[in-house]
Amino acid sequence: MSPPSTSRPLVTLRSVPLTPGRLELAASGSGAIATWLYRPSKLRGQVALAISTALRLRGKRASGFPFELDEVIAALGVRPRGCAVMRSPDRQQWVIAIDTDDTQGVIAKIGMQDQRARIREEYRTLRRLADHSGLFSVPIVNRLSEGRTWSAFDMERVADVHGSVHFDLDEALAVSVELARVDDSGITHGDLAPWNLLHGERTWLIDWERARALQPGLDLAHYVLASADIGGMLSSQDARDHLRFSSPLVREYCRRTGFALPLVATNLREMLTYFDSRAGDQFSDR
């Protein structure tokens, strides 16, 4: 059984262009999503934007990236007008919100070293779920590209910025049940949390890099515990109460999915142990 894992926060390396465009970086939970506040309408402003972007996409020496960013952009076939760049603390995963000629733009995800395998796996998972319809949709991926030191794919940018990120236990239960039924065999998202559910005309479930074979109950437990440990959206005591084996939430999950309580309880214990080790014993169910 794979150990549970929650995302390390993305931190902003830089946002470009600095002028004449301006970016608002909204941090929510474990990540930051960029939205454009200004797009020039006049030709001179558009030229300045293009030059500013080009200068910052010239490669690792100019930009400080551990890879040739222009090589990645070219491999993905994207023509950027501007972008915002975010990275993981260990500098092994990078997320680039790219503004293109259309109104939506794309998101590029880049993995270095051991993160390359996760990038490939996330790409395969999103391809597998491309036709999924139900309570949530997933972003459409375009292509997977490989460089000497990196792997990357680009996908549609389904939302510019997080709206109100909120704890919704009913939604978490419903999405967890739906994940357990995907393709009849089910799937574990591995990082289900309020900030990975984006709400608009549809509900989007993002960040699939930790997806794996179904472990019943793990996604539901991750949502509850991450909401307390990372999001501060409920107390550790409330989180523990929600995940007691006799709780209404756990019993309802078992009722809807048909999984036996002992099987679900094993994965709940695993998540509680993991978060207990992160949070100094505040989540342990003793």
* pLDDT value at residue 78: 75
Separation between Cα atoms, residue 272 and residue 269, nearest integer Å? 5
18/21 Cα distance (integer angstroms)? 6
**Residue 110 burial by Cβ neighbours in a 10 Å radius (0-12, 13-18, 19+):** buried
Judge whether 284 lies within some domain. Answer: no
Residue 119 domain-assigned (yes or no): yes
- Distance, in Å, from the CA atom of 120 to the CA atom of 127, rounded to the nearest integer, reads 11
| Strand intervals (E) in the chain | 11-16, 23-28, 31-36, 82-87, 93-99, 106-112, 141-146, 150-156, 197-199, 203-205
pLDDT of residue 118: 92
pLDDT at 16: 34
Residue 133 CB-half CA count within 13 A: 1
Are 261 and 230 contained in the same domain? yes
By C-alpha distance, which of 69, 58, 154, 64 is closest to 109? 154
Assigned domain for 163 exists: no
- Contact of 190 with 210, CB cutoff 8 Å: yes
What's the CATH number where 37 sits? 3.30.200.20
Give the structural domain span for 67.
11-156
Which of 112, 128, 156 is a domain's end point? 156
| Judgement on whether residues 102 and 25 belong to the same structural domain of the protein | yes
Same domain, 179 and 140: no
Beta bridge partners, 156, equal 106
Kindly list the averaged pLDDT for each block of 10 residues, start to end, along the chain of length 286: 45 33 34 39 54 49 59 79 73 78 77 91 94 91 90 81 74 97 93 89 89 96 90 88 95 97 94 79 47
Shared-domain flag, residues 140 and 214: no
In a domain, 286, yes or no: no
CB 191 within 8 A of CB 161: no
Q: Contact, 245 vs 196, CB < 8 A?
A: no
Count of residues in the chain = 286
Asked, for residue 225, whether it belongs to a domain, the answer is yes
Q: Are the beta carbons of 34 and 25 closer than 8 angstroms? A: yes
Q: Do 180 and 246 belong together in one domain?
A: yes
**138 and 273 inside one domain:** no
Domain count, the chain: 2
Single-letter amino acid code for the residue at 235: S
Tell whether 6 is covered by a domain.
no
Do 147 and 188 lie in one domain? The reply is no
Which residue, of 98, 133, 156, is where some domain finishes? 156
Both 52 and 149 in one domain: the answer is yes
Q: Is residue 5 part of a domain?
A: no
Q: Look at residue 161 and tell me if it is in a domain.
A: no
- Regarding whether 126 and 230 lie in a shared domain, the answer is no
Q: How far apart are CA 117 and CA 218, in angstroms?
A: 22
The first and second tokens of residue 208, run together, are 């699939």
Residues 20 and 149 both lie in one domain: yes
Residue 118 has, within 13 A of its CA and on its CB side, a CA count of 19
Is-contact 159 33, C-beta < 8 A? yes
The reply to whether 77 and 44 lie within a common domain is yes
Domain closes at, from 124, 156, 188:
156
Q: Are residues 136 and 183 in the same domain?
A: no
Burial 18-40 (b: 16+ CB within 10 A, else e): eeebebeeeebbbbbbbebeeeb
Query: Residues 55, 62: contact at Cβ < 8 Å?
Result: yes
